[in-house]
């Protein structure tokens, strides 16, 4: 099972660890993550954006790279083929049908509520290498925008991005999701 690089933003890289996706989703629903996420969302609601930005440092992040911290020796990172899409303009309270449509798509590896209350973070596994990340991102974004009739945030599409582990009481994880085929030949 793939393990992903996880880091605490307040400690050096040498103090980081790896978790598999099941463990990451457990962490997303933990009391620790819930407490920090509520604090940040409250600061955002109060317009205290600087303090919210500082508080975000308390959240753990998981990366687009595989790393097995159980193996001895130097840290080796490999591109994991994990694409993270942020679905925009989600009315979370009335999102039951949208979430059912997302879960019906066999490429959906998982989803959870983003720190931004009007977004859902969607995870997709792809069959490409790191040099084709932007192409993979854009192809998966095009696919999900069309399938869901929702926009995807395309900021920083050219770099594999780190995901904040934010609290979400409802999540979805499909450990047998299909891998999205990236068409590299048409470029």
- Calculate the CA dihedral of residues 125, 34, 86, 149 and round it to 10 degrees: 100
| Residue 62 to residue 111: CA distance in whole angstroms | 14
Q: Encoding tokens for residue 2?
A: 């793939």
69, pLDDT greater than 70 = no
How large a percentage of the chain has pLDDT more than 70?
89
Q: Between 162 and 175, where is the model more confident?
A: 175
What pLDDT shows up at residue 13?
A: 55
Residues 110-144 have pLDDT tens digits of 999 988 889 999 999 999 988 898 999 999 999 99
Q: Closest Cα partner for 164 from 3, 4, 1, 7?
A: 7
The answer to whether residues 181 and 83 touch, using CB atoms and an 8 Å cutoff, is no
End-to-end CA distance of the chain: give it in Å, rounded.
32
Higher per-residue pLDDT: 42 or 17: 42
Domain ranges of the chain: 3-70+78-173
Report the distance separating Cα 165 and Cα 102, nearest Å: 20
């Amino acid at each position: 099972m793939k393990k992903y690089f996880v880091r605490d933003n307040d400690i050096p890289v040498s103090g980081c660890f790896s978790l598999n996706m099941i463990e990451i989703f457990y962490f997303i629903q933990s009391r620790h993550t819930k407490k920090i996420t509520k604090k940040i969302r409250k600061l955002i609601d109060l317009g205290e954006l600087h303090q919210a930005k500082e508080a975000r440092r308390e959240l753990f992040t998981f990366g687009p790279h595989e790393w097995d911290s159980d193996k001895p020796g130097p840290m080796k990172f490999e591109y994991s083929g994990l694409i993270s899409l942020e679905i925009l303009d989600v009315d979370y309270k009335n999102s039951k049908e949208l979430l059912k449509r997302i879960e019906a798509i066999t490429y959906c590896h998982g989803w959870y509520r983003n720190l931004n209350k009007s977004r859902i973070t969607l995870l997709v596994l792809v069959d490409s290498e790191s040099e084709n990340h932007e192409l993979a991102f854009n192809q998966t974004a095009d696919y999900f925008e069309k399938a869901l009739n929702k926009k995807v945030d395309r900021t920083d599409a050219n770099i594999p991005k780190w995901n904040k582990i934010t609290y979400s009481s409802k999540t979805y994880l499909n450990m047998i999701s299909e891998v999205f085929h990236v068409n590299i030949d048409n470029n």
